[in-house]
């Protein structure tokens, strides 16, 4: 099948592209290289069509999507802290850009699987968080993702097939340093033999999901007959930042103690997915275990340049 991946040069997008190519699909990538990098696509560069296009540019997108079987929409501005100072830009890219994708999907009858986020939940009342929990984002980035979900609800009523995947904390190789999540930041310090810096007291709970598992969930969502729903994509397992720090330091074999820094604005306290629904619908279960991944990745990373 032939798919468009927006944000395909980014962290999650590039892993998804690799996965789709391995499954023998044709892939067209749309990315303006805001945070994405062409080098993320090195392993598949001869097998893809890449277009440096901004998702806010409706007419440029229109020429590309005709005749494709589905759109995986990953492109977005993704940094919570930055979303406070660039609220309008976040709205334009994440909401108007998403509406462009949905308009095209409607015009050409194309299914869309798009990246929503656990940030739509804010601080949940009940843990683990199921899909029917209240949506009360704590920060402008999360609000743009909620707006995307409202748009998805509106367009699905107009007949567009849409599945929104609410990713929890995604980890893996290839995350841009400037836009990195906590695991990438900690690993960067460890590589320099420096201690991880914890924002807050480290008791925050996160559900860390591997980017490979996220890629697999995307393709299952695209192929699934079920339409028009939002699904959690996490592991269902709770890890505190203190647990994570311990695991990382242990895997490094270094004698380090974390440094504590002030909490970040808009940081949720607890995030842990209930994955019963996605497991039931897709038969999908995360395959990668965080501790195993850290044990394999950290020693290799420390000896590479």
Ligand X SMILES: NC(=O)c1ccc[n+]([C@@H]2O[C@H](COP(=O)([O-])OP(=O)(O)OC[C@H]3O[C@@H](n4cnc5c(N)ncnc54)[C@H](O)[C@@H]3O)[C@@H](O)[C@H]2O)c1
Query: Measured from the CB of residue 245, what is the shortest distance to ligand X in angstroms?
Result: 18
First-to-last alpha carbon distance for the chain, in angstroms, is 38
Please, what is the minimum distance in Å from the beta carbon of residue 117 to ligand X?
A: 4
Which position among 19, 141, 167, 171 bears the catalytic label? Answer: 141
Residue 52 tokens read as 């440096």
Residues contacting 67, CB < 8 A, separation 6+: 2, 108
Told to judge if 121 belongs to the known catalytic residues of this protein, a careful annotator would answer no
By beta-carbon proximity to ligand X, the closer residue of 33 and 259 is 33
Q: Quick one: 174 or 302, whose CB is closer to ligand X?
A: 174
Nearer to ligand X, 80 or 247 (CB): 80
Which spans in the chain are helix H? 11-22, 58-65, 80-85, 87-91, 97-108, 140-157, 182-191, 211-223, 241-252, 276-282, 290-303
Q: Which residues bind ligand X (CB under 6 A)?
A: 7, 9-13, 31-36, 54-56, 74-78, 93, 97, 115, 117, 167, 169-170, 176, 179, 181
272 and 126 Cβ atoms separated by less than 8 Å = no
Residue for token pair 């310090």:
189
Least Å from the CB of residue 105 to ligand X: 16
User: CB of residue 255 vs ligand X: minimum separation in angstroms?
Assistant: 30
Write the CA distances from 277 to 127, 164, 214, 269, integer angstroms.
15, 13, 15, 23
Residues tagged active-site: 141
């Amino acid at each position: 099948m032939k798919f468009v991946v927006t944000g395909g040069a980014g962290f999650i997008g590039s892993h998804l592209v690799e996965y789709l190519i391995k499954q023998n699909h044709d892939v067209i990538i749309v990315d303006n290289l805001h945070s994405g990098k062409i080098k993320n696509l090195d392993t598949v560069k001869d097998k893809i069509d890449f277009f440096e296009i901004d998702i806010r540019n409706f007419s440029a997108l229109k020429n590309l999507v005709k005749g494709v079987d589905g759109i995986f929409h990953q492109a977005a501005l993704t940094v919570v802290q930055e979303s406070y100072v660039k609220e309008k830009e976040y709205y334009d890219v994440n909401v108007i850009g998403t509406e462009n994708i949905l308009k095209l999907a409607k015009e050409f009858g194309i299914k869309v699987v798009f990246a929503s986020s656990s940030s739509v939940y804010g601080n949940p009342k009940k843990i683990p968080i199921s899909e029917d929990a209240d949506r009360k984002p704590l920060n402008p980035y999360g609000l743009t993702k909620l707006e995307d979900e409202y748009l998805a609800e509106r367009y699905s009523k107009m007949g567009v097939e849409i599945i929104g995947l609410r990713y929890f904390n995604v980890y893996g190789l290839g995350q841009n340093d400037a836009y990195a999540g906590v695991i990438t930041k900690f690993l960067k310090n460890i590589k320099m033999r420096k201690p991880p810096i914890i924002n807050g007291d480290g008791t925050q709970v996160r559900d860390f999901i591997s980017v490979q598992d996220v890629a697999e969930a995307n393709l299952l969502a695209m192929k699934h007959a079920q339409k028009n729903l939002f699904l959690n994509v996490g592991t269902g397992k709770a890890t505190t930042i203190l647990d994570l720090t311990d695991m990382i330091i242990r895997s490094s074999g270094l004698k380090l103690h974390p440094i504590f820094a002030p909490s970040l604005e808009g940081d949720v306290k607890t995030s842990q997915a209930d994955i019963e629904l996605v497991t039931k619908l897709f038969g999908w279960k995360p395959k990668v275990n965080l501790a195993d991944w850290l044990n394999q990745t950290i020693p290799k990373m420390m000896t590479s340049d």
